Amino acid sequence: MKRILIVDDELSVRESLKLILQDQYKILIANDAKEALVLFERENPNLVLLDIILPEMDGITVLKRIREMDATVPVIMLTATRMVKTAVEAMKLGATDYLSKPFEIEELKLIIEKAITTKDLEQEVKYLRSEITRRYSFKSIIGKSREMQEVYAKIEQIADTRTTVLVTGESGTGKELVARALHYNSTRKERPFIAINCAALPETLIESELFGHERGAFTDAQVRKVGQFELADNGTLFLDEVADLSLATQAKLLRVLQEKEFTRVGGTRTIRVDVRLITATNKNLDQSLKQGSFREDLYYRINVVPIHLPPLRERKEDLPLLVNHFLTKKTEEEGHPPKQVSPEAMTLMMNYDWPGNVRELQNIIEQMVTLCTNSTILPEDLPDHFRKQLKSMTLKEQALSGKISFERAVAEFERDIILEALKKTRYVQTHAADLLGISRRILKYKMDLLGITPPEIK
């Protein structure tokens, strides 16, 4: 229950306020400034109702003392009508609001509820911002490989600058994560971070999305639309898949970067913005330049500081760290007991090429945490294509690389050969034995040893 400290030297006022509010709040009572400050420090109330006229020390002085102890707690001043001017002065010193005596009960309740709700929302926003900053610190990008250490160093070096950055890498390598790390480790972190996937927007909408439009600019423009550049003012705009922009849109983007101003579609007023631009692409921009699909002048504008994210297959030493990170994150989110990956399952994962990179790894970990009921994730818990890709390695490669023992390699070889012979002869064992150049008795012995069962007796 929220706590309200009532500070008033009139007994009737204190009792009236207590009677009105005690059903919703825990009420603390002080009849002078000294008692009020002791209670405030000890009880940490959620709101203070403070009379301006008090014996020995007036309410304005008490307000100043409260603000020295806590700059955020809502303080509502209680005043007689003739003291309204003083109440206004109190608000300049940090009071949240004021009420003139005698006050309306419903107005009192409404002002108190609004003040407490606003304070709660401010605290929530502050908490969420701190969580976002923590989540997108450059340390949240997992990896101990040399390539990732270079990425960390560059993010730390340029985060708190105005520098335009181009992030390159295959899909799923974490380009947006880098962009967010740059934003939330800069002085712009309190301002908007806006991300746009240029490839996901049709050409007819991209200009309006970036720069906005005026009402009537085109057939469907029923109202004015504020563009993302305007919304990102004093913050960061992240353009993913920037290579997919048309040459016409590239020209307009170049002008914004050069002039720091633009006009809405169908508009005439020039709008100035202060936006840090971070772009990303999974395409080879050098090749796009040669093909004429990307402007050379824009390329040099956005490629002031390049950051390249290597594919996961080129930094396999980071895989165990990433697996543990996503396992811990997902199990904590779902409230599951901790899980680990068996050495055999980790071997399969280490031998996989990860075409979807870190995004694919995260999805697979989430799938395994959801579906695996054991505390240890085994090879059979992995998706089918992991086991198939190990099978696709030749037995010789597996044996020489230590993936399987020599005895198992020999057994697997015999099993594959016998199964192939049986399939070719429609599981007629005599014909299969003849095809292999062995007796039917030896064939049957091998089948029993290797657990090969003809389909008709399954």
CATH assignment of 313-385, given 1.10.8.60, 3.40.50.720, 2.60.120.10, 1.10.10.410? Answer: 1.10.8.60
Task: Give me the residue spans of the domains in the chain.
Answer: 3-130, 139-310, 313-385, 396-457
Nearest of 156, 162, 214 to residue 185 by alpha carbon: 156
> Is CATH 3.40.710.10 the classification given to domain 139-310?
no
Would you give the end-to-end CA distance of the chain in angstroms? 68
Cα-based distances in Å from 9 to 83, 236, 249, 371: 16, 53, 68, 65
- Locate 156 and state its tokens: 């730390």
Cα dihedral: 436, 438, 440, 443 (round 10): -70
Main-chain dihedrals φ then ψ at residue 167, nearest 5 degrees: -105, 125
For the stretch 364-377, pLDDT in tens is 999 989 888 888 99
SS (H, E, C) the chain: CCEEEEECCCHHHHHHHHHHHCCCCEEEEECCHHHHHHHHHHHCCCEEEEECCCCCCCHHHHHHHHHHHCCCCCEEEEEEHHHHHHHHHHHHCCCCEEEEECCCHHHHHHHHHHHHHHHHHHHHHHHHHHHHHHHCCHHHCCCCCHHHHHHHHHHHHHCCCCCCEEEECCCCCCHHHHHHHHHHCCCCCCCCEEEEEHHHCCHHHHHHHHHEECCCCCCCCCCCEECHHHHCCCCEEEEECHHHCCHHHHHHHHHHHHHCEECCECCCCCEECCCEEEEEECCCHHHHHHHCCCCHHHHHHHCCEEEECCCHHHCHHHHHHHHHHHHHHHHHHHCCCCCEECHHHHHHHHCCCCCCHHHHHHHHHHHHHHHCCCCEECHHHCCHHHHHHHHHCCHHHHHHCCCCCHHHHHHHHHHHHHHHHHHHCCCCHHHHHHHHCCCHHHHHHHHHHHCCCCHHHC
Whether the CB-CB separation of 279 and 302 falls below 8 Å is answered with yes
> Is CATH 3.40.30.10 the classification given to domain 396-457?
no
| pTM given for the model | 0.63
Confidence label for 383 from pLDDT (cuts 50, 70 and 90): confident
Same topology between domain 313-385 and domain 396-457: no
Query: Residue 57 pLDDT more than 80?
Result: yes
CB half-sphere exposure, 393, CA atoms < 13 A: 19
Confidence label for 458 from pLDDT (cuts 50, 70 and 90): very low
For the stretch 19-33, pLDDT in tens is 999 999 999 999 999
Q: What sign does the dihedral 323-325-327-329 (CA atoms) show?
A: negative
Q: What is the mean pLDDT of residues 85-104?
A: 82
Instruction: Give the per-residue pLDDT at 386.
Output: 75
Instruction: Give the per-residue pLDDT at 457.
Output: 47
Burial class (CB in 10 A: 0-12, 13-18, 19+), 425: middle
Instruction: Give the per-residue pLDDT at 55.
Output: 87
Main-chain dihedrals φ then ψ at residue 47, nearest 5 degrees: -160, 150
- Locate 331 and state its tokens: 């199990």
For the stretch 387-438, pLDDT in tens is 666 555 566 767 777 767 888 888 888 888 998 899 899 889 999 999 999 9
Token pair 């007023």 in the structure block, residue: 269
For the stretch 114-168, pLDDT in tens is 999 988 888 877 766 655 655 655 566 788 888 998 998 899 899 989 999 999 9
Instruction: Give the per-residue pLDDT at 406.
Output: 84
Query: Residue 215 pLDDT more than 80?
Result: yes
CATH assignment of 3-130, given 3.40.50.2300, 2.40.110.20, 3.40.50.300, 3.40.50.1970? Answer: 3.40.50.2300
Instruction: Give the per-residue pLDDT at 166.
Output: 97
Using a pLDDT cut of 90, give the percent of the chain over it. 50
Distance, in Å, from the CA atom of 408 to the CA atom of 405, rounded to the nearest integer, reads: 5
Instruction: Give the per-residue pLDDT at 127.
Output: 63
Query: Residue 450 pLDDT more than 70?
Result: yes
